[in-house]
Chain A
Amino acid sequence: MGVVAYVAKRFGLYLAVLFIGLTITFLLPRLMPINPVDGYIGQIQSRASGTLTPEAIAEMRRNLEELYGLKGDLLTQYLSYLKRVVIDFDFGPSFTYYPQSVSTMIVTALPWTLGLLLTATVIAWLLGNMVGLVAGYFHKRKAASILEFVGILLYPIPYYILAVTVLLTLAYIFPIFPLSPTFPVGQMTPEKVGMIIYNSLLPAITLVLAGFGWNILSMKALAVATAEEPYVTYARLKGASNWTRMTRYVFRNALLPQVTALALSLGMVFNGALLTEIIFSYPGIGLIMRTAATGGDYNVLYGAITLSILAVATAGLVIDLIYPLLDPRIRRK
């Protein structure tokens, strides 16, 4: 299987994931016993304090169904949904912030989420793997068990607990960071950028801590296994130094499953990022989703989830496309 076959196969999976993901997003609300249009009409009616005539309501229902793509039978809806989402990237208007379009809202929030998520994931991955490598390579020493213990302690702790604990310690007990962060909008000046970074540190610390434990544990297990391989023994007999063996022999080989693991765990990492944003009021996709969920703004929700699936699937694709660069076996086979 050469690179071309590998890429083609991976790309096929990518398209399939997107397709199934979009289909689930389409079907979910339609399988639910609750009709969002009823909810909207109810809200409008209560605002108009019951002065609406039945004809006006019927007219409104028609308009809303048109607006939110609920017209026609399921297949027609599905096709027009796919067309709207895939070709026009249009999710209709937001209900709460009408007539602002959902796409605009999401595009505004996306850089925030991506910036935080990418930085935190890369730091957690690098840091966790380095610690795990050292702990695994020297696994017979006492210090290694301490490092592993840190991993065991951190890994099972859920994101929300980490977030609240970080908030409690670093913003309340030791008031280094603000309890309720502010994120300036509009034209960026150096001070504003500095303020954003300062305010983003708490959510970033949470995300790094959460990703850290897993990477320590899995890298340690891999490094222990790899260090016993015959080629590592051979390198030692050849006279390669400890450092060379650890980095060029053990790390190089243990790296590959770690890259795969990163691609597989992206969905979870993304979940954690959404939650962290919500708890820290960080203005990303997570916060938008939370606001939309509370206000019953379904268009925004569907836009955000479609984008989440797209983002996670694409990130996985990119990682998997980098993979052949790291693994010569795929290139040479």
Chain B
Amino acid sequence: MSIDTKDADPVELVIAPSPAVAERRSGSNLLWLLNPRLAVGLVILAVMGLGSFILPVFAPADPSIQATYMRNLPMSGVHWLGTNALGQDIFWFLVFAVRNSLALGIVVACGVTLVASVIGLSAGYIGGRFERLVMLIVDTFITIPLLPILIILGALIRGNTSFFTVGLIIIIFGWAWDARTVRSMALSLREREFINMARFSGANTFDILAKEILPYVSAYILVGFINTVLFAINTEATLAVIGLSKVEVPTLGSIIFWALSYNALFTGHYPWIVGPIVATVTLFLGLFLTSTGFNQAFASKRGVS
């Protein structure tokens, strides 16, 4: 089990499995998947996901409407985190923000995963000149710093866009990393013995795809999916923080944008700024732990690394 450190993809190694994990039984139940990281990550995600999608039903008022309540109320039983300088309830704004950010992240991740899988797999399997061309484009997209492009787009379309156009733009400029990973996966799969084995045993292409490749790939795709959710939420929030997303829509970024532009720091309005920080860190930690936890679990199941 030697890892050639020169050819190893550093990106994969990071989230990667520690190599010395013995193969565990792969029974019919899913408990083998559970390791501490994954458990913690899933609990965080479950609480925040369910909470943010169910709670809005009980919201007393749409938190994005300004001047619903008195401004700058302190924390109390009625307003758990108080109200902000715009007369919005901070707690409910935060709940809606987590929901919108998560929804955007999931939509973008679906798009990115689809594009990246198609491009990466085709580049890996077809190879040759096609692969070189595709990889050139992929490397370009990775090299080009995304934020300046997003700032230009944000400046151009600001005000005339829906929240999900922002998502679309993130898809267009965010698929390259994943495509790179998928392609290196496809490259290594092409040479694997169990694929040849299946072919020699008389399995047709569909069987190979469905029974040999998909289970192997799905783990990576799932991990990549979660990482893309992280990336998408982060990117939208980044744009929102500098005021170039749809800041009227509550997201984890726009809440900080409003807090900063109303100088919550100077006025000592802690809940407004600390609330979103705690929520974001928790959510991101949950997503990250889930993705690395899955990676660990799948690596130990495959018994390969």
Find out whether the CB atom of B273 lies under 8 angstroms from the CB atom of A20: no
Q: Which of B5, B137, B139, B281 meets A256, CB within 8 Å?
A: B5
Given contacts A13-B139, A264-B142, A275-B241, contact A230 B156 (CB under 8 A): no
CB of A66 within 8 Å of the partner chain? no
Known: A28-B153, A168-B274. A274 touches B160 (CB 8 A): no
The one of A34, A156, A225, A296 in contact with B284, judged by C-beta atoms closer than 8 angstroms, is A156
Flag A76-119 by CB within 8 Å of B: 1 or 0 each. Answer: 00000000000000000000000000000000000000000000
A24 interface residue (CB < 8 Å to B): yes
Chain B, 1-27, contact with A by CB distance < 8 Å: what is the 0/1 string?
111011011110111101110000000
A225 and B237 contact, CB distance less than 8 A = no
In the complex, what distance in Å separates the CA atom of A279 from the CA atom of B238? Answer: 11
Stretch from A50-58, A186-194, A213-221, A236-244 that touches the partner: A213-221
Choose the segment among A41-49, A67-75, A197-205, A299-307 that binds chain B (4+ C-beta atoms closer than 8 Å).
A299-307
Q: Could you tell me if B145 and A267 are in contact, using CB atoms closer than 8 angstroms? A: yes
* CB–CB B10/A261 < 8 A: yes
Q: Does A253 contact B (CB under 8 A)?
A: yes
- Whether the pair A267, B136 counts as a contact (CB closer than 8 A) is no
Partner of B14, one of A157, A214, A305, A312: A214
Q: Is B144 an interface residue (CB 8 A)?
A: yes
Do the beta carbons of B244 and A293 come within 8 Å of each other?
Answer: yes
A309, B10: Cα distance in complex, Å = 23
Which of B9, B143, B153, B273 has the most chain A CB within a 10 Å cutoff? B143
Inter-chain contact A161/B13, CB cutoff 8 Å:
no
The answer, yes or no, to whether B126 is at the interface (CB within 8 Å) is: no
Expressed in whole angstroms, the Cα–Cα distance for A282 and B153 within the complex equals 23
Dominant secondary structure at the B interface: helix
* A289 CB to nearest B CB, Å: 5
Which chain A residue lies CB-closest to B2? A229
| Nearest Cβ on chain A to B164's Cβ, whole angstroms | 17
A275 CA to B153 CA in the complex, in Å? 16
Contact size range, B: 35 or more
- A264 and B176 CA atoms in complex are apart in Å by 12
Asked if residues A312 and B152 are in contact (CB atoms below 8 Å), the reply is no
Known: A167-B265, A168-B273, A301-B155. A271 touches B11 (CB 8 A): no
Q: Does the CB pair A221–B154 fall under 8 Å?
A: no
B1 touches A329 (CB 8 A): no
Report how many residues on chain A are interfacial, defined by Cβ distance under 8 Å: 73
Q: A257-B6, A264-B11 are in contact. Are A312 and B281 (CB under 8 A)?
A: no
Give the contacting residue for B238; candidates A225, A275, A308; CB below 8 A: A275
Within 8 A of A (CB), among B40-77: none
Q: Given A224-B18, A257-B8, A160–B156 Cβ distance below 8 Å?
A: no
Q: Is B19 within 8 A of A34, CB to CB?
A: no
Binds A, one of B103-111, B193-201, B210-218, B285-293: B285-293
Among residues 14 to 48 in chain A, which have CB atoms less than 8 Å away from a CB atom of chain B? 16-17, 20-21, 24-25, 28-29, 32, 34
State which residues 249-272 of B face A: CB under 8 Å.
253, 256, 260, 265-266
Contact of A228 (CB < 8 Å), options: B6, B19, B287, B289 = B19
Given A274-B147, A275-B147, A312-B144, the answer on whether A32 and B13 have CB atoms closer than 8 Å is no
Chain A contact surface mostly: helix
Contact B280 A158 (CB under 8 A): yes
Residue from the list B145, B153, B243 in contact with A308, Cβ < 8 A: B145
Per-residue CB contact flags for chain B residues 193-234 toward chain A (1 = under 8 Å, else 0) read 000000000000000000000000000000000000010001
Q: Which of B11, B19, B151, B156 contacts A32 (CB 8 A)?
A: B156
- Indicate if A182 sits at the interface (CB-CB under 8 A): no
- B187 to chain A minimum Cβ distance, whole angstroms, is 17
Assembly CA distance A266 to B31 (angstroms): 39
Q: Considering the chains assembled together, what is the distance between the CA atoms of A313 and B39 in angstroms?
A: 40
* Inter-chain contact B148/A308, CB cutoff 8 Å: yes
Contact of B152 among A224, A260, A305 (CB under 8 A): A305
Question: Does B140 make an interface contact (CB < 8 A)?
Answer: yes
CA distance A25 to B152 in the complex (A): 9
Known: A228-B20, A261-B10, A292-B155. 8 other contacts (CB 8 A): A32-B156, A139-B18, A164-B273, A168-B265, A222-B10, A257-B9, A260-B10, A264-B142
| 4 cross-chain pairs, A with B, having the tightest CB-CB distances, nearest first | A261-B10, A156-B288, A271-B147, A293-B155
21 A/B residue pairs, CB under 8 Å, sorted by A:
A28-B149, A32-B157, A156-B284, A161-B256, A164-B273, A164-B277, A222-B5, A225-B5, A254-B5, A257-B13, A261-B14, A264-B10, A264-B142, A266-B143, A270-B145, A271-B238, A275-B238, A296-B155, A298-B152, A305-B151, A308-B148
